[in-house]
Amino acid sequence: MTELLDQDIKYLKGVGPHRAKLLESELGVKTLREFVTTFPYKYIDRTEIHTVNNLREDMPYVQICVHITDFNTEGSGSRQRLKAIATDGTGYVELVWFQGAKYYERQIKLTERYLVFGKPSWFNGRISVVHPEIEVIRPDQPAEGTFGGKLQPHYHTTERMKRASLTSKVMTRLMTDAFALLSGHDLETLPEYIRNAYHLIDRNEALRRIHFPDSAADLPEASRRLKFDELFYLQLDLLRYVRRRKQRDVGTVFAKVGPAFLDFFQNHLPFSLTGAQKRVMHEIRDDLRTGRQMNRLVQGDVGSGKTVVALMTCLLAIDNGFQACLMAPTEILAGQHFATITGLLRDTGIDVRLLTGSVTGKKRKTILEATAEGRCQLLVGTHALIEPTVVFQRLGLAIIDEQHRFGVKQRAMLWAKNTIPPHVLVMTATPIPRTLAMTVYGDLDVSVIDELPPGRQPVTTLHFNSQEATLHDGLLRQLKEGRQVYVVYPLIEESEKTDLQDLMTGFESISAAFPEYKVGIMHGRMSSTEKDEAMARFSSGETQILVATTVIEVGVNVPNATVMVIENADRFGLSQLHQLRGRVGRGADKSYCILITHNRLSDHTLRRMEIMTETCDGFRIAEEDLRLRGSGDLQGTAQSGMPLDLNIADIVRDAELMAVCREAAMHVVETDPDDSLPQNDIIRRQLKIMTHREDFSGIS
Ligand code: ADP
Ligand code: MG
């Protein structure tokens, strides 16, 4: 049975070596098994046959059953076309072919009855169908033809496939042959107890329905069943992978909790931790006791207090005699972290240092020495930290902030910095729904800070389509009250000249509009010293307005800034807008975010602006963002190295079903820890097939 499914697709009747090559190169299909899980992407309803007198040009694709009464070819060469007049007795319709006129001229017979399928249009004062599909209906056949009054499946085909006549229609025929060949074979992949528990139809039936549905009513159960298959095995794979990893990755034990620094710090903290911060600290402490390496992702909205959690974890490490490092994606951020941290740790006597690309010469040498000798207890920096010249005496913890800029490889380089790999804590302000996070970051445990510190006011967000006067009045009121303002311009590529020009023009017009105030500027073309200086001037209040590009996107903290103006907001993605908005509302004062657009907006863009004005909840925004963008981006950033090899399921659209599948997979892993229960034989067989296919064992 397995052998037949694994048979090379070229042996299927009608395929052969040439088409087999195409199926492999274009669709990645090599075997019969892969062929039957190549699913239609849409269906066209062919259940109804219309009468000619009822055709209207606003109808979608329709089918009619007609005789052809006359036809002739007009024009010549590339302008040649074939016109035919057809009738079903209720009226006349013109059928027109521009391509293949010769071919159809030879095919058409006045004696035959045809099922004609196409889109009606109004042409030359009569109803016509351009480039219809036609099919001869024999006198003894029902009028519905091949699709038997059903839905017609459509398969993705590429240009190369079409050139080899491997059209969707041919795919359907090959699929029919494949199913004929497999008839009587059991294609089941799930144990009965799981099918029963989750009300899933059997797989043979699901596959039949998805390829050859009798009606639209056949599809929901079939697609749920087949999506379940993909997501269940995806989750099972992940869970087993994580289990293997946990059994293998040793880590240092942080036995002590807070005798020196952590307790001191907590006692001097000017606020108490939120419930969410406490919960996450507990999760982290539990990890650090196990003797296995921690790999944890902390998701939290902008301003939820991730930095405090990060710092307390560093103190745990230091209390246990280890060094810690904190890596940020930009120099500005690293500098800010360093400033915040040295401030918070001032009275502890802990040795904290800053290492970025621009720290050079003797200064750099001193830092490297202190780190190698273990005197430096906490090293803050950019990716300069992962360079081989940076050697730690006893690195116990690595924290990566705003992880979306760091890849798996860079994390692995950090691992290598200690004989026993350091614990890793990743902090991200672009949260994604939990189940999704566990799938995309398969190798990370996920913690969520889902609560903001008390007293935070939501940032009032407004969308203007170039209403400068109103905007200036508003800004002036805030400035008069002593508040500060950011004005942000998009700069997608630091080299884009027009963007830089926009920024400069904006800077000039704002300077002119607010002559009593000092305006600063900051962009990616400036050196890091210049940027630091610009930031410092704004931070200290020397400048009241900062005109900048997205270099200020993450982490920047100036509590007195209450207005974020985002120019050409339509050019930013949702999560980027949310990040930028997070730069205000950090103090006690009421804050505003003003989104400015100048163009007529597409529905999509308008929706983004609406979401921003409706909510400040980062998790909701992340979800909407995913919904608008689809899962493409996510799949690209998959951290686990897991192939998200899905033909029918989508991790974003089917997130709910994925949660169900995760639960089902979890149940299997927990109830059958040593893979021995007979009712799971079928699962083991399936996993083996997948392992074989993906060479999956290689990545663990
Ligand atoms: P994030 O890194 O998650 O964006 P931060 O850690 O920078 O957030 O915290 C934002 C601000 O909130 C900081 O000024 C920080 O001191 C403050 N903060 C953090 N936790 C609390 C808390 N539990 N109560 C009050 N303020 C807090
Ligand atoms: Mg932060």
Q: 126 φ, ψ to 5°?
A: -150, 165
Output the pLDDT for position 468. 67
Residue 150 has pLDDT above 50, yes or no: yes
Binned at pLDDT 50, 70 and 90, residue 541 comes out as very high
User: By percentage, how much of the chain surpasses pLDDT 70?
Assistant: 91
CA 144 to chain centre: 42
For 256, what's the count of Cα atoms within 13 Å in the CB-facing half-sphere? 15
The mean-pLDDT minimum among 250-259, 274-283, 466-475, 585-594 falls in 466-475
| C-beta neighbour count of 438 within 10 angstroms | 22
Between the ranges 38-47, 587-596, 646-655, where is the mean pLDDT highest? 587-596
Closest ligand 1 atom number to CA of residue 582: 4
Binned at pLDDT 50, 70 and 90, residue 374 comes out as very high
Q: Is the CB of 578 under 6 A from ligand 1?
A: no
Nearest ligand (C-alpha, residue 308) = 1
CA 240 to chain centre: 23
Which has more pLDDT, 304 or 627?
304
Same topology between domain 259-449 and domain 460-615: yes
Output the pLDDT for position 103. 83
Report the candidate in 526, 571, 536, 541 with the shortest Cα–Cα distance to residue 556.
536
Output the pLDDT for position 467. 65
User: By percentage, how much of the chain surpasses pLDDT 90?
Assistant: 46
CA 381 to chain centre: 28
Classify residue 550 by its DSSP letter: G
Residue nearest to atom 5 of ligand 1 (CA): 305
CB 68 within 8 A of CB 84: yes
Q: 616 φ, ψ to 5°?
A: -115, 5
Output the pLDDT for position 698. 33
d(CA 249, CA 291): 9
Residue nearest to atom 4 of ligand 1 (CA): 303
Binned at pLDDT 50, 70 and 90, residue 554 comes out as low
Q: Is the CB of 46 under 6 A from ligand 1?
A: no
Calculate the average pLDDT of the chain.
86
Instruction: Show Cβ contacts of residue 512 under 8 Å, excluding neighbours closer than 6 positions.
Output: none
Residue 651 has pLDDT above 60, yes or no: yes
Residue 413 has pLDDT above 90, yes or no: no
The first and second tokens of residue 502, run together, are 């926009």
DSSP string, 251-268: -------STTHHHHHHHH
Q: Is the CB of 277 under 6 A from ligand 1?
A: yes
Report the candidate in 111, 116, 114 with the shortest Cα–Cα distance to residue 96.
116
Q: Where are the domains of the chain?
A: 1-47+150-185, 49-149, 259-449, 460-615
Output the pLDDT for position 633. 52
The mean-pLDDT minimum among 226-240, 329-343, 683-697 falls in 683-697
**Mean pLDDT on 380-402:** 92
Nearest ligand (C-alpha, residue 581) = 1
CATH topology assigned to domain 1-47+150-185: DNA polymerase; domain 1 (1.10.150)
**Mean pLDDT on 592-618:** 90
Residue nearest to atom 9 of ligand 1 (CA): 305
Q: Are strands 113-118 and 133-137 parallel, antiparallel or unpaired?
A: antiparallel
Maximum Cα interatomic distance, the chain, rounded to a whole number of Å: 99
Q: Is the CB of 304 under 6 A from ligand 1?
A: yes
Binned at pLDDT 50, 70 and 90, residue 264 comes out as confident
Distance from the alpha carbon of residue 233 to the mean position of ligand 1, in angstroms: 40
Chain length of the chain:
700
Q: Does domain 460-615 have CATH number 1.10.150.120?
A: no
**Mean pLDDT on 346-362:** 92
Output the pLDDT for position 313. 96
Residue nearest to atom 17 of ligand 1 (CA): 305
d(CA 403, CA 510): 34
**Mean pLDDT on 259-263:** 81
Residue 78 has pLDDT above 80, yes or no: no
Convert the pLDDT of each residue in 32-53 to its tens digit: 999 999 999 888 877 788 999 9
Which amino acid, residue 433? P
Which has more pLDDT, 511 or 500?
511
Report the candidate in 34, 41, 40 with the shortest Cα–Cα distance to residue 20.
34
Q: What are the distances in angstroms from CA 303 to CA 311, 333, 509?
A: 15, 14, 32
Residue nearest to atom 15 of ligand 1 (CA): 305
Residue 499 has pLDDT above 60, yes or no: yes
Nearest ligand (C-alpha, residue 266) = 1
Query: N- to C-terminal Cα distance for the chain?
Result: 30
d(CA 401, CA 326): 7
The first and second tokens of residue 494, run together, are 């630091």
d(CA 411, CA 417): 10
Report the candidate in 203, 211, 89 with the shortest Cα–Cα distance to residue 151.
211
Binned at pLDDT 50, 70 and 90, residue 508 comes out as very high
Q: Is the CB of 308 under 6 A from ligand 1?
A: yes
Between the ranges 101-115, 483-497, 625-639, where is the mean pLDDT highest? 101-115
CB 583 within 8 A of CB 504: no
Output the pLDDT for position 282. 94
Q: Does domain 259-449 have CATH number 3.40.50.300?
A: yes
The first and second tokens of residue 57, run together, are 């040009």
Residue 628 has pLDDT above 90, yes or no: no
Helix residue ranges, H only, 148-218: 159-163, 168-182, 192-197, 203-211
Residue nearest to atom 1 of ligand 1 (CA): 303
Residue 93 has pLDDT above 70, yes or no: yes
Q: Which helix (H) or strand (E) holds 469?
A: helix 468-480
Nearest ligand (C-alpha, residue 307) = 1
CB 248 within 8 A of CB 282: no
- Return the exposure string of 52-87: e unless at least 16 CB atoms fall within 10 Å of the residue's CB, then b: beebeeeeeebbbbbebeebeeeeeeeebebbbbbb
d(CA 364, CA 389): 10
Which has more pLDDT, 519 or 260?
519
Residue nearest to atom 14 of ligand 1 (CA): 586
Classify residue 272 by its DSSP letter: P
Convert the pLDDT of each residue in 466-479 to its tens digit: 766 678 888 999 99
Closest ligand 1 atom number to CA of residue 305: 6
Distance from the alpha carbon of residue 452 to the mean position of ligand 1, in angstroms: 8
Closest ligand 1 atom number to CA of residue 401: 2
Convert the pLDDT of each residue in 266-284 to its tens digit: 888 888 999 999 999 999 9
Distance from the alpha carbon of residue 333 to the mean position of ligand 2, in angstroms: 9
**Mean pLDDT on 489-515:** 82
d(CA 146, CA 111): 20
Q: Is the CB of 550 under 6 A from ligand 1?
A: no
Distance from the alpha carbon of residue 341 to the mean position of ligand 1, in angstroms: 12
Helix residue ranges, H only, 290-349: 306-319, 331-344
Which has more pLDDT, 223 or 603?
223
Q: What are the distances in angstroms from CA 112 to CA 34, 66, 108, 115, 139?
A: 39, 9, 8, 10, 9
Residue nearest to atom 26 of ligand 1 (CA): 453
**Mean pLDDT on 302-316:** 91
- What superfamily in CATH does domain 49-149 come from? Nucleic acid-binding proteins (2.40.50.140)
Residue 147 has pLDDT above 70, yes or no: no
| C-beta neighbour count of 403 within 10 angstroms | 25
Distance from the alpha carbon of residue 307 to the mean position of ligand 2, in angstroms: 5
Nearest ligand (C-alpha, residue 578) = 1
Residue 571 has pLDDT above 60, yes or no: yes
Distance from the alpha carbon of residue 271 to the mean position of ligand 1, in angstroms: 10
Residue 263 has pLDDT above 70, yes or no: yes
Inter-helix orientation angle 168-182/203-211, to 10°: 150
The first and second tokens of residue 687, run together, are 């996993």
The mean-pLDDT minimum among 50-59, 335-344, 545-554, 582-591 falls in 545-554
Using a cut of 0.85, tell me whether the model's pTM lies above it: no
Residue 526 has pLDDT above 90, yes or no: no
Output the pLDDT for position 493. 58
**Mean pLDDT on 114-133:** 88
Q: Is the CB of 213 under 6 A from ligand 1?
A: no
- Return the exposure string of 386-397: e unless at least 16 CB atoms fall within 10 Å of the residue's CB, then b: beeebebebbbb
Q: Is the CB of 333 under 6 A from ligand 1?
A: no
Binned at pLDDT 50, 70 and 90, residue 405 comes out as low
d(CA 573, CA 681): 46
Convert the pLDDT of each residue in 422-446 to its tens digit: 999 989 877 777 777 777 776 778 8
Classify residue 22 by its DSSP letter: H
Output the pLDDT for position 347. 85
Q: Is the CB of 303 under 6 A from ligand 1?
A: yes
The first and second tokens of residue 383, run together, are 């990716």
Which of 307, 314, 425, 557 best tests ligand 1's pocket when mutated (most atoms within 8 Å of CB)? 307
**Mean pLDDT on 455-468:** 84
Distance from the alpha carbon of residue 257 to the mean position of ligand 2, in angstroms: 24
Q: Is the CB of 587 under 6 A from ligand 1?
A: no
Convert the pLDDT of each residue in 113-122 to its tens digit: 998 988 899 8
Binned at pLDDT 50, 70 and 90, residue 245 comes out as confident
The first and second tokens of residue 411, run together, are 């994390």
Output the pLDDT for position 279. 96
Which has more pLDDT, 104 or 259?
104
**Mean pLDDT on 11-33:** 91
Residue 363 has pLDDT above 90, yes or no: yes
CB 12 within 8 A of CB 178: yes
Output the pLDDT for position 478. 93
The mean-pLDDT minimum among 147-161, 224-238, 389-403 falls in 147-161
